[in-house]
Amino acid sequence: MSGLPAAAHAMVTGGGRGIGREIARALKLAGATVTIVGRNGATLDEAVAQGCADHAAIADVADRDALDAAVDDAAARQPIDILVANAGSAESAPFLKSDAALFRRMMDINFMGVVHAVQAVLPAMKGRPYGRIVTVASTAGLKGYPYVSAYTAAKHAVVGLTRSLALELATTCVTVNAVCPGFTDTDLVADSVDNIMKKTGRSREQAVAELAKHNPQGRLIAPQEVADTVLWLCGTGAGAITGQAIAVAGGEV
């Protein structure tokens, strides 16, 4: 696997925790300068202090102006070569109890957050000799799950956007791919486990098993496994890989 170009600058949205933090860590260990973006300043500062990133910026990806400001500030230090659009949120509810506000929240964070990030970095990235955009979707972008119709719709939109962008940018230096993790051992999944326990009375072990059963390997995905896939896609040897939605899910998809 070819590595990253020398002195590459990567921006990871939602980089303060979970999958995003592991992606930031992997990119930094591979030699990139890493800027993470998120809504919680304390979480971002902790990630920087732990060596997972070099810089942090507070911004909600659903807020175009705030994200533009974060990108402008980061790019002023060093042009951005890599964007990992990872920020996301999941809410569950039966479809008939999923109101318009829930659908808007899921689309604003999970889909429009990707749109905002890509539109902020792409004009400058297109003019450079190397560029990588990786969207972190989900197996929910490739199949359906009950009780998360709004989240699933948003993640399907991310995969569709990724494929369209890849074709638009095929003659440039920029590749665009999606990584689609299955249920991953993060605090986001921990929240889902808590919700299952609360609603069903199951034990924590039973609740984890309920999620892990989707994976033919019978386990949760490790965040580092997702990060390794992102790192490969960002490498110079992956220049012919574009428009793909790669499931990291133990064979679920």
Q: What pLDDT score does 75 carry?
A: 98
Q: Which of 130, 145, 147, 151 is catalytic?
A: 151
Q: Does domain 9-182+223-241 have CATH number 3.40.50.2300?
A: no
User: Of 26, 146, 174, 33, whose CA–CA distance to 86 is shortest?
Assistant: 26
Stated pTM of the model: 0.93
Between CA 49 and CA 40 the distance in angstroms is 14
Instruction: Work out the burial of residue 187: count CB atoms within 10 Å of its CB; fewer than 13 is exposed, 13-18 middle, 19 or more buried.
Output: exposed
Q: What pLDDT score does 169 carry?
A: 98
Active site residue 151: yes
Residues in CB range of 85: below 8 A, 6 or more apart: 13, 61, 113, 114, 117, 118, 133, 134, 135, 136
Q: Do residues 57 and 120 lie in contact, with contact meaning Cβ atoms separated by under 8 Å?
A: no
Q: Tell me if residue 58 falls in helix, strand or coil.
A: strand
Both structure tokens of 197: 């326990």
Q: What pLDDT score does 185 carry?
A: 84
- Strand runs labelled E in the chain: 9-13, 33-38, 55-58, 82-85, 131-136, 174-181, 245-248
pLDDT tens-digit profile, the chain (253 residues): 579 999 999 999 999 999 999 999 999 999 999 999 999 999 999 999 999 999 999 999 999 999 999 999 999 999 999 999 999 999 999 999 999 999 999 999 999 999 999 999 999 999 999 999 999 999 999 999 999 999 999 999 999 999 999 999 999 999 999 999 998 988 766 677 677 777 788 887 787 787 788 899 989 999 999 999 999 999 999 999 999 999 999 999 9
Q: What pLDDT score does 1 carry?
A: 52
Q: Where are the domains of the chain?
A: 9-182+223-241, 184-220
Q: What pLDDT score does 198 carry?
A: 79
CB atoms within 10 A of CB 30: 15
Instruction: Work out the burial of residue 75: count CB atoms within 10 Å of its CB; fewer than 13 is exposed, 13-18 middle, 19 or more buried.
Output: middle
Q: What pLDDT score does 158 carry?
A: 98
